[in-house]
Amino acid sequence: MDWQTWHQRYDEPGSELSRRLEAVKAQVRDALDRAPAGPVPVVSLCAGQGRDLLEVLADHPRRADVQARLVELDPKLAASARERAGDFDQVEVVTGDASLTDQYVGVVPAELVLLCGIFGNISPEDIQRTVDASPQLCRTGATVIWTRHREEPDLVPTICEWFESRGFERVWVSEPDAGFGVGVHRFNGVPDPLVTGQSLFSFTH
């Protein structure tokens, strides 16, 4: 997969990806709005260019509270994310494998966890493994935002069930006919300790 070419579709007005990006950004903004006072740790797995978070931080009133780590394997996409982050030194962009739990030492449990652009590219077993590990990434009250296409087999309802069986409450899910899938869940449980040395998923294409 040429991920840089794939990301260019975010700039096509009216495209599925551009509309999905706007939906995710709206949910990121809402999550930051309801974050408690104090530091707001954020992690983004397979962050790409980081647009979903960085474009919201540009003018968000909680901008100074956010301490984010974006992990992206593709060096050019990671470089683009660093450029977008500019001089905002509370955003760290790591070029590396986002599936490895070691990448999140020191920043989790987080208030906001972004799992965007992942679930459509990994097996159902790896989706469930990632969902099962999400309590390691989240503090109580944290928001997880995730994406998955609605093509058959439509796993969005099942993914919701997996999250909800692990102590998450459904906040919002895009309509089935939106042309994309975005889900938002809030963690109401107690964080699990981060288990390092784990690999949560592998891309299938």
- Per-residue pLDDT tens over the stretch 34-58: 999 999 999 999 999 999 999 999 9
Q: At what angle do helices 156-165 and 124-133 cross, to 10 degrees?
A: 30
Q: 141 — alpha (psi -120 to 50), left (phi > 0) or beta?
A: left
Residue 6 in this model has a pLDDT that exceeds 60: no
Instruction: Give the Cα separation of 66 and 50 in Å (integer).
Output: 14
- With tokens 């760290």, the residue in question is 92
Cα(71)–Cα(103) distance, rounded to whole angstroms?
Answer: 8
State the pTM of this model.
0.94
